[in-house]
Structures are given as structure tokens and as C-alpha cells.
Structure 1
Amino acid sequence: MGRAFEYRKAAKMKRWAGMAKAFTKVGREINIAIKEGGPDPDYNPRLRLAMNNAKAVNMPKANIDAAIKRATDKDTSAYEEVTFEGYGPHGIAVFVEATSDNNNRTVASIRHAFNKYGGSLGTNGSVDYMFVRKGQFIVKEENFDGDLEELELELIDFGLDSIEKEEDEINFYTAFEDFATLRDELEKRKIEVAKAELIRIPTHTKKLTDSEVDDVLVLIEKLEEDDDVANVFHTMDDSE
């Protein structure tokens, strides 16, 4: 009984930690969006997306409103989007996206993680060319009742690259430069987007042994634990 209780307690703490991390991430998305386009979501598409992403991770409305108020009341120039590039164990390229209000702290933390867990922090451009930047819009299948094939043909004119179904979700992909165009068209068609983000897809991947995969995952997990880190992309082949 005691061991089971401790397991449930540890699992609950892990869930809370994950939720806190997600809330921090979307809170900073809101901050950056307001810095870019102001606090009115009716006139700021990026803020609307940030608010949607907040709802997707079950952030309460009161927390969303508080994040908007904080970003509006203070100097929103505090947070900046920064990126880091390097290599993890076994030659795996790693690209890190972060939002920081103290660049020196963030650089030191990211460099420490790379050095401690078998990687090396590189310079800007050292691995960027290994990734293609795409926009991704996730729609819950239960919230879509139209003809997907017909919609795919219609959305090509608005920058759609492809549509992929995965379990109970429909993923819409677009080129980075067409992100805003497809976003606006999905809004116009009243297609409910559960989450929207810019991602980096590797142009090639590297297959590793199980033990090598574990080495890389340790670095990725340590990077993702950093409050400043928003996303970590890599070239490891993680298919089954």
C-alpha cells in the first residue's frame, strides 16, 4: 500500500510539473504575441493562437486573462525569442527554441546541459540547414465534419502542403512563409484549431541503437526541463 501510494504521488507530481511547464510556455507565447501585435485578440492573430494553445493545455481562463494583463501592464520587451544550435551524443543535431528575459542566464544553462550530457553547443547556422520550418495546425477529428479530401484541394491555394490523420487528430501542414495565410483561412472557415505552432522537421534522420537513443533522450529531457526552453528539435530517427 505504501509503495502504491508513493507511486501515485510521484505520478501526480510529474503531471503537475508538466502542467506548470506548459502554462509557463503558453504564458510566454502570450507575452511575445502582445509585444508583437498588442493586447486585443480581435486584432492580433498571434495572440488568438496563443490563447487557443493555452486552452489546449487546459489553462484556466482566469490564468489566461492574468497572463494577458501581466503582459499588458509591464514592458513586454522583457522576453525575447532566442535559438540555440548544437550536437547531442552520437552526432545528433539539436535545435533549441527559447524565450528569455535574461539571455546570459539562458545561454549558460543551455551550454551546461549540452556539455554535461554528451553534446556541444554550436554557433548560429551550424545545424539550422538540417531542418525545414513548417507550420502545423492540429484539429480534433471530433470537431470536423466536412469532406477532408475536398477541403485539402481547396486549401492548396492558401498554402496547405499536406494533411495527415493521426489517431483522433487531423494535422494541417504549411510552409513557414504561408503560416499566416493558412491560419486566416482556417479561421475564416470556422475550423476549430486545437493547437497551432511552428515546427522544424529534419531533412534527414539518423538511426541509433537503443542505448544511444537513451543518451540523446537524456540531453533532450534536460533541455526541456529548462523553463526558458519552448521547443527542442533533433535529427534522431525516433520511428519504431
Structure 2
Amino acid sequence: MPNENIQRAINKATGNQSADHYEEIVYEGYGPGGVAVMVTSLTDNKNRTAASVRHAFAKNGGNLGEDGCVSYLFDKKGYLVIDRSQHPVDEDTMLLEAIEAGAEEMETEEEVFEIYTEPDQFMAVKEALEQKGYSFVNAEITMVPQTYVSLDGEQAEKMERLLDMLEDNDDVQNVYHNWEE
């Protein structure tokens, strides 16, 4: 065996390998009941990750699809969540401040304000709201479904297991779906 192969194995085992190459891959498919699922991953071995994601879909009543088969069902948006208990302002005040900051829309839930932005406006809106004293429970660029699918019984259980399997995979970064939980 050549010395360079031995050295490469030693470097890989000790974590000293400087030439690690990670690739971002997006998998798309359908879960149980036709739920659209997008999985983003960061991996150094795309064959391992593809097999693992395909297995999760197949084992739980879904199937992996081609690129673009579900991505058109999602919009890329900036997403900011403000805890209402930490910031006791009324809905109208919050909406006005969010729109002045450049937000696209806001939804009011019992415990939080959910603010949506265009991806290229995300940082500007976040910084403008931070300057006004707001802190965020969550702030990220995400994929927002255009429509939702509801499941019940066995299909809901399978979908829950599919999401658990995907999220337990170390290579998986994010899982987006249009299941109305």
C-alpha cells in the first residue's frame, strides 16, 4: 500500500484532513398522503446521504422525486418570530413597525408575531427591528409552503416517522414540508 494512502487514512481518522469537500444537496419528494418534502443536506459523501434519504422516504410510505418536483410548491422567504410575552405591543403597532422596516407580511398568533420578508430584505428588516428593541425567537431564511396537506391516522404517524428519520440524519440540515400538523 502506498505511503500517501496510509497518511491520508491517518489524517482522516485524526481529523487533520484539510481537503474535506462538503457538498450541499437538495432532495425533493413526496411523503405519505402526497405531502411535499424538501430536504437540504451538507455531506462529504453524496452516495451515503442519497441512500439514507431514499430509505427514509421508502420506509415511511413516500418516494424520492426528481429535482424540481416539489420546489415550485414553496416560496423562499425571510422568517422572523417575536415572542409577544417579551414584547407587549399590540398587533397594529407591531404590523406598522414591521412594514416600516420593510417586511412583506405579518401573522399574529396567540404567543408570537410571525414576520415574512423577501430573502434579500431579510437582514435589513431584522436589523431595523433590532434597533427598535425587538429580539427574535427565530430568524432565518426558510421555505414557506404555498398550500398545505392535512393527514390523519396512519398517514400522520408515517409522516411523523419520516420527519424524525430525516432530522436524525447528521447530513440533513433542514426539512421543509407542507404538512398541516
TM-score, normalisation: structure 1: 0.59
Asked if residue 111 in structure 1 is aligned to residue 32 in structure 2, the reply is: no
Structure 1 or 2: more strand by fraction? 2
Q: Retained in 2: the 8 A contact 1:152–1:163?
A: yes
Separation in 1, partners of 2:19, 2:145: 32
How many residues get paired?
166
Equivalent in the alignment of 1:126: 69
Greater relative CO, 1 or 2 (CA 8 Å, sep 6+): 2
Equivalent in the alignment of 2:132: 189
Instruction: Please list the CA deviations of residues 134-162 of structure 1 after superposition, one character each: whole Å capped at 9, or x if unmatched.
Output: 22112222332445423422432433123
Change (3 A) 1:104 1:187: farther
Q: Please, which of 95, 105, 110 is the counterpart of residue 152 of structure 1?
A: 95
TM-score, normalisation: structure 2: 0.76
Q: SS of the residue aligned with 2:33? A: helix
Asked if residue 217 in structure 1 is aligned to residue 160 in structure 2, the reply is: yes
Q: SS of the residue aligned with 1:142? A: coil
Change (3 A) 1:146 1:117: closer
Q: Retained in 1: the 8 A contact 2:148–2:179?
A: yes
Structure 2: state its 5+ residue gaps.
1-16
Separation in 1, partners of 2:116, 2:92: 15
Instruction: Please list the CA deviations of residues 66-118 of structure 1 after superposition, one character each: whole Å capped at 9, or x if unmatched.
Output: xxxxxxxx969754443210111222211112233333322221122112222
Q: Retained in 1: the 8 A contact 2:84–2:113?
A: yes
% identical aligned pairs: 36
Separation in 2, partners of 1:137, 1:174: 8
Which is greater in Rg? 2
Q: SS of the residue aligned with 1:180? A: helix
Equivalent in the alignment of 1:231: 174
